[in-house]
Amino acid sequence: EVHLLESGGGLVQPGGSLRLSCAASGFSFANYAMSWVRQAPGGGLKWVSSIGGSGTATYYADSVKGRFTISRDNSKNTLYLQVNSLRAEDTALYYCAKHPYDTNRASFDYWGQGTLVTVSS
Partner 1 sequence: EIVLTQSPGTLSLSPGERAILSCRASQSVITRYLAWYQQKPGQAPRLLIDGASSRATGIPDRFSGSGSGTDFTLTISRLEPEDFAVYYCQQYGRSPLAFGGGTKVEIK
- Beta strands, E only, the chain: 3-7, 10-12, 18-25, 34-39, 45-51, 58-60, 68-73, 78-83, 92-98, 110-111, 115-119
Cβ closer to partner 1: 2 or 15? Answer: 2
- Least distance in angstroms from the C-beta of 75 to partner 1: 26
**φ, ψ for residue 47, nearest 5 deg:** -70, 140
Cβ closer to partner 1: 3 or 19? Answer: 3
- Least distance in angstroms from the C-beta of 59 to partner 1: 7
State the residues that interact with partner 1 by CB under 8 A: 35, 44-47, 50, 59, 61-62, 95, 100, 104-114
